[in-house]
Amino acid sequence: MNELEAILARHSVRAYTGRSIPVDVARRLEAVIDDCNARSGLHLQLVRNEPGAFGTWKARYGKFVNVRDYVAVIGDDRLPQFDRDCGYYGERVVLAAQMEGLNTCWVAMSFSRRKVVADIAPGDKIAFLIACGYGQTQGAPRTTRPLASLCALPQGMRLEGAPEWFRAGIQAASLAPTAVNTQNFLVTLHDDLKSASIAPTSGPYAATDAGIAKYNFEVGAGRDSFSWR
């Protein structure tokens, strides 16, 4: 499975079997996490066999079941683009997990921050957890907004007339997990037809959602096919 196949196959999963992530799978996932941290300055961490964070009423209210493993998305929120980077690099880890046969779910509130078992340096904060493991199901697709509503095009252009790389990128971005499925981001195709930009619109966690969508867009479009502005 490659990253594009992972985007197509992945759906949010909240109920897990309780089966632990094998050591070899965990090591490969941690290698991806280490690279993300080196590139971003974040401190993402894989936490295994620790049910405490999802053992409270918050998790039950959020319908999380048997979550024992998770990725803690941690960093200094004074970093430039902190929220967007949390989404961008977190999504890279999410897709890596999917390629390893794992299921995931982004979690903003349905866990106990006090019971998160992670190395939190002074000045760092927990932005999100990503529940991770073997799901009781593979999840289900969700409704998405029309593709044309997720992008801005040069005057007079319709989406079907946009470059192939842009259309493929928007399709992948539309499958990005976002808070309450709001899809609060907008991708702009610039007049040169060789560059794009992405920005959050409005709503909770919009900057993080834009980061998640940005990663998906790159996968769909092909990183060598365009440049970001």
Digit-coded pLDDT (tens) for 107-119:
999 999 999 999 9
Q: Do domains 3-133 and 147-223 have the same CATH topology?
A: yes
Q: How far apart are CA 67 and CA 46, in angstroms?
A: 13
pLDDT at position 27 is 98
Fold of 147-223: NADH Oxidase (3.40.109)
Q: For residue 165, with 0-12 CB atoms within 10 Å meaning exposed, 13-18 middle and 19 or more buried, which class applies?
A: buried
Residue spans of the domains in the chain: they are 3-133, 147-223
Each residue of 45-89: pLDDT tens digit?
999 999 999 999 999 999 999 999 999 999 999 999 999 999 999
Residue 208's closest CA among 135, 97, 130, 98? 130
Structural contact between residues 75 and 85, judged by C-beta atoms closer than 8 angstroms: yes
Residue 49's closest CA among 66, 62, 37? 66
The architecture that CATH gives domain 3-133 is 3-Layer(aba) Sandwich (3.40)
Position 203 pLDDT exceeds 90 = no
